[in-house]
Amino acid sequence: MNSIKTRQDSIVESFKKFSNWEDKYRHLISKGKNLSPLGDSYKTEDLKVKGCTSQVWLRAYLSDSHQLILEADSDAMIVKGLISLLVEVYSDSDLDDILKEELFFINEVGLQTHLSPSRANGLQAMIKQIKLYAYAYKMKLSTV
């Protein structure tokens, strides 16, 4: 299993292949297109990420080995690309790792400076939701 840091390094490397932002956006959109679709039964209000202008649904559950598994979808192409990157980084990870690891790929790729303020806020809302899922599952496991 790759660490969160290793996965972020891989994303940074994949974006380094592109010299301009038009190509980087195309790459981001293609990442979103490769995201496994979330079943319509999970596109519910309670799985919607609050704070996103676009609709984003994020489902989380624990594997048998207590790794957080994430599934997501969005109705906007760039946002779907963003959530696909977060799923790539965080899914199938240890809860403690999700809570303690810092995300560096966003700045290293340059997303923070090339996203509109509303998309940047939405990205932060998605990260916050993933960390809340990890925390909630950690608390649930500690009471078992």
* pLDDT tens figures, 35-57: 998 999 999 999 999 988 899 99
What is the domain partition of the chain in residue ranges?
Answer: 4-142
CB 31 within 8 A of CB 15: no
If pLDDT is split at 50, 70 and 90, which confidence band does 16 have?
very high
What DSSP designation does 41 have? G
Tell me what pLDDT residue 144 has. 65
Tell me what pLDDT residue 48 has. 96
pLDDT digits (tens, 9 = 90+) for 46-100: 999 998 889 999 999 999 999 999 999 999 999 999 999 999 999 999 999 999 9
Please list the active-site residues. 52
As a CATH number, domain 4-142 is: 3.90.1010.10
pTM: 0.95
Q: How far apart are CA 18 and CA 36, in angstroms?
A: 24
Residue 118 has pLDDT above 70, yes or no: yes
Average model confidence (pLDDT) for the chain?
95
Residue 1 has pLDDT above 70, yes or no: no
Determine the 3-state secondary structure of 15 from DSSP.
helix
- Which phi and psi (to 5°) does residue 73 adopt? -160, 160
Q: How far apart are CA 109 and CA 42, in angstroms?
A: 30
